[in-house]
Amino acid sequence: MTLATLSLGVKSRLADLTMTLDLGEVTAICGPNGAGKSTLLASLAGLLAPDAGHVALGGQPMAGLRPDVRARTIGYLPQMPEVAWDLSVEVLVSLGRLPWHGVPGSEAQAAIDDAIAAMDLEAFRHRRVSQLSGGERARSLMARVLATGPSWLLADEPLASLDLAHAASLVACFRKQAQLGRGVVLVLHDLAMAMNHADRVIVLDRGRLAADGAPELALGADVVARVWGCPARWVGEPGARALSVG
């Protein structure tokens, strides 16, 4: 199954883009501020309609999918998610099961418990969202997406407010999701994370595709210099690369 976008515009924020994303892979979308990363992710999630063209899921135009099917298939974590009500962590995470209405309760509870455990939230299960730190809140929102068990997991800057250990654990969780055959698409500013942990990197620059491919190629020093305007070089071994800037 593939997720593809044929996009013209999205209100002029993205140029023509044609791409196919594959299940079983971690794809990172990188680029400078304002490059169009969140716009691309939201259009892949079916939340922004392209001005022309379409996003297709498994060959079917996204617009034609039933909302509950789409909600079960695509889990989307926006860059700055709002929590409308001051719920407990457990109730917030359980909202991820809403698209599965009718599925037996024990299965739903297992998915909720697994997501809470995966995001190291046991100690906060009964805590209200307003009483969480920024990182704990981010982990709770990620757990809600994981609880759905979607085929596609789209997350916009999911590591931004996480400490080192929780970021590493979430990256391991994304890799596991890909191994399970799910498609993982992440907007990442941390180029080393993308270099070391993605299977494929899509680089956007001012709404246009600047590079697309294996991390070593798509995030080569020449691309970083051209797109980010930063003289930089990669140091370290493959899989443990660090970017030395300047």
Ligand X SMILES: Nc1ncnc2c1ncn2[C@@H]1O[C@H](COP(=O)(O)OP(=O)(O)OP(=O)(O)O)[C@@H](O)[C@H]1O
What is the nearest approach in angstroms of ligand X to the Cβ of residue 186?
12
CA angle 26, 98, 47 (to 5 degrees): 55
What is the nearest approach in angstroms of ligand X to the Cβ of residue 235?
25
Residue 7 and residue 56: Cα distance in Å, rounded? 11
Residue 167 and residue 231: Cα distance in Å, rounded? 26
Residue 48 or 57 having the CB closest to ligand X? 48
What is the nearest approach in angstroms of ligand X to the Cβ of residue 62?
18
Determine, following the binding rule CB under 6 A, whether residue 27 of this chain makes contact with ligand X. no
Which one of 33-41, 86-94, 137-145, 147-155 is the stretch in contact with ligand X (CB under 6 A)?
33-41
What is the nearest approach in angstroms of ligand X to the Cβ of residue 206?
8
Residue 36 or 50 having the CB closest to ligand X? 36
Number of residues that bind ligand X (CB under 6 A): 9
Q: Which residue of 3, 30, 36, 241 would you call a contact of ligand X, by CB under 6 A?
A: 36
Render 85-153 in DSSP notation, one character per residue.
S--BHHHHHHGGGGGGTTS-HHHHHHHHHHHHHHTT-GGGTTSBGGGS-HHHHHHHHHHHHHHH--SEE
Determine, following the binding rule CB under 6 A, whether residue 38 of this chain makes contact with ligand X. yes
Q: By the 8 A CB rule, do 54 and 60 touch? A: no
Render 198-211 in DSSP notation, one character per residue.
-SEEEEEETTEEEE
Q: By the 8 A CB rule, do 166 and 134 touch? A: no
Residue 31 or 75 having the CB closest to ligand X? 31
Q: Which residue of 35, 138, 210, 224 would you call a contact of ligand X, by CB under 6 A?
A: 35
Q: By the 8 A CB rule, do 35 and 208 touch? A: no
Which one of 28-36, 67-75, 111-119, 138-146 is the stretch in contact with ligand X (CB under 6 A)?
28-36
Determine, following the binding rule CB under 6 A, whether residue 33 of this chain makes contact with ligand X. yes
What is the nearest approach in angstroms of ligand X to the Cβ of residue 198?
17
Tokens 């498609």 belong to: 183
Residue 36 or 149 having the CB closest to ligand X? 36
Q: Are strands 2-9 and 55-57 parallel, antiparallel or unpaired?
A: antiparallel
Determine, following the binding rule CB under 6 A, whether residue 13 of this chain makes contact with ligand X. yes
Residue 136 and residue 132: Cα distance in Å, rounded? 6
Residues that bind ligand X (CB under 6 A): 13, 31, 33-39
